Amino acid sequence: MSDAVTYVSKNDIAVITLNRPDKMNRMDNALMDGLCEAWQRLAKSDDRVAVLTGAGTKAFCAGADLQNPPRGLYHGVPGVGVAVDKPIIAAVAGWCVGGGMVLTTMCDLMICADNAIFTYPEVKVGFSGGLISNLATRIPHKIAMELLLIGEQIDAKRAYEVGYANKVVPVDQLMPEAMAWAAKIAANAPLPTQALKHWTSQTLPKGPTETGGAARYMTDIIDNSADWIEGRTAFKEKRAPKFKGK
């Protein structure tokens, strides 16, 4: 796994950390690849729940690294780039900007430090990837549009008031609180826990970019498969292909 993302497993809990504190955990190719690998590892592991956080207290994630932008966000976003039926808790301190908000929006629960600040400034830089459109299905429509169309920030208190965050705590209590919530989930029966997350995910409306990202993830698997290589080779050699589902 890339050093830009770390994965630590203990007591059926995975702690996944955006690990570029010197860059305020901004998203580049290495970080998004690392996230993709982390979600895949979580899905296949015995871990029952994950806590997603950022290294340091200055920023959970300051959005895309504009000096080295990632080729695409979708493949590192849980539920879009990788199907994940296990609960994910966001533990957010400091700035949560742009793509960082895409990540927190796709988490199931969120604990915020009292210094957390959320902003989605794409309209101010002349860009949009569209994944954030599902924000309007997680919080009231007018609040979502305030964030998306004006591009200004809201603090942790406001995030809690509008239902974006579950709890606000002092910075030094962020990870202890998030881990306490994760421990409660890990102690529950995993099959109904995963089923309830899956069913809820199916119930929530999905924006076109989110739907397209999930479809693209599946086509990427096909495009990079041994079966696709075998199919082309068999066609050239004029023989029946021997597919293995890999």
pLDDT tens per residue across span 116-167: 999 999 888 777 778 899 999 999 999 999 999 998 999 999 999 999 999 9
- Is residue 74 situated within a structural domain? yes
pTM of the model: 0.90
Query: CA–CA separation, 52 vs 60, rounded Å?
Result: 9
- Is residue 235 situated within a structural domain? no
- Is residue 45 situated within a structural domain? yes
Look over the chain and give the mean of its residue pLDDT values, rounded to a whole number.
Answer: 92
- Is residue 197 situated within a structural domain? yes
Query: CA–CA separation, 16 vs 78, rounded Å?
Result: 12
Which residues constitute the domain of residue 188? 5-206
> For the chain, what is the domain count?
1
- Is residue 186 situated within a structural domain? yes
Q: Is the pLDDT of residue 86 over 90?
A: yes
- Is residue 214 situated within a structural domain? no
Query: CA–CA separation, 119 vs 215, rounded Å?
Result: 28
Return all residues near 166 (Cβ < 8 A) that are at least 6 apart: 109, 110, 111, 160, 181
- Is residue 61 situated within a structural domain? yes
Determine contact, residues 96/60, Cβ cutoff 8 Å: yes
More confident of the two residues 178 and 212: 178
Q: Is the pLDDT of residue 22 over 90?
A: yes
What per-residue confidence (pLDDT) applies to 1?
62
- Is residue 245 situated within a structural domain? no
What per-residue confidence (pLDDT) applies to 37?
95
Q: How far is CA 91 from CA 94, 125, 211, 235, in A?
A: 10, 27, 26, 50
Measure the CA angle with vertex 50, ends 47 and 54; round to 5°.
Answer: 140
Task: Report the CATH number that the domain containing residue 32 is assigned in CATH.
Answer: 3.90.226.10
What per-residue confidence (pLDDT) applies to 206?
83
